[in-house]
Amino acid sequence: MLVLSVACSGVAAGFGLRRDGAGLLHFDGLHWSLSGAHSSRSVHAARAMVALDFQSLMLLRLSEPGRARRWVWAEQRAMPERWRDVRRAVYSRPPSAAPAADTWRATAPADAP
């Protein structure tokens, strides 16, 4: 019974992935966006977190304020020349909200000119 339920879940997930189709994942340095065949399933201004990492395949969770989370599989074979860039981007820290000059002044000694 357990094997049958796992097999049925896999088939259902496969049909769901086919329905969604492939999309284009884009990072502008601050937010992630996903566009594809279904415009109603598009994501704009999201944050990405890695849920699973198999080196050439990653499961990403895209979180956009006010909307449900979106789970996306990213594959190296889709665009191998950009794979290392994608990996660096999803693992990098988001930029801080404070300008770099303010951060520098906050950490400088009080008697500095």
Q: What is the pLDDT along the chain (113 residues), one digit of tens a residue?
A: 888 777 766 666 655 555 556 788 899 988 999 987 555 568 888 999 999 999 999 999 999 988 889 888 999 999 999 999 999 999 988 776 655 554 444 444 555 55
Listed in order, strand segments (DSSP E) in the chain are 23-27, 32-36, 43-53, 57-63, 70-75
**60 and 49 Cβ atoms separated by less than 8 Å:** yes
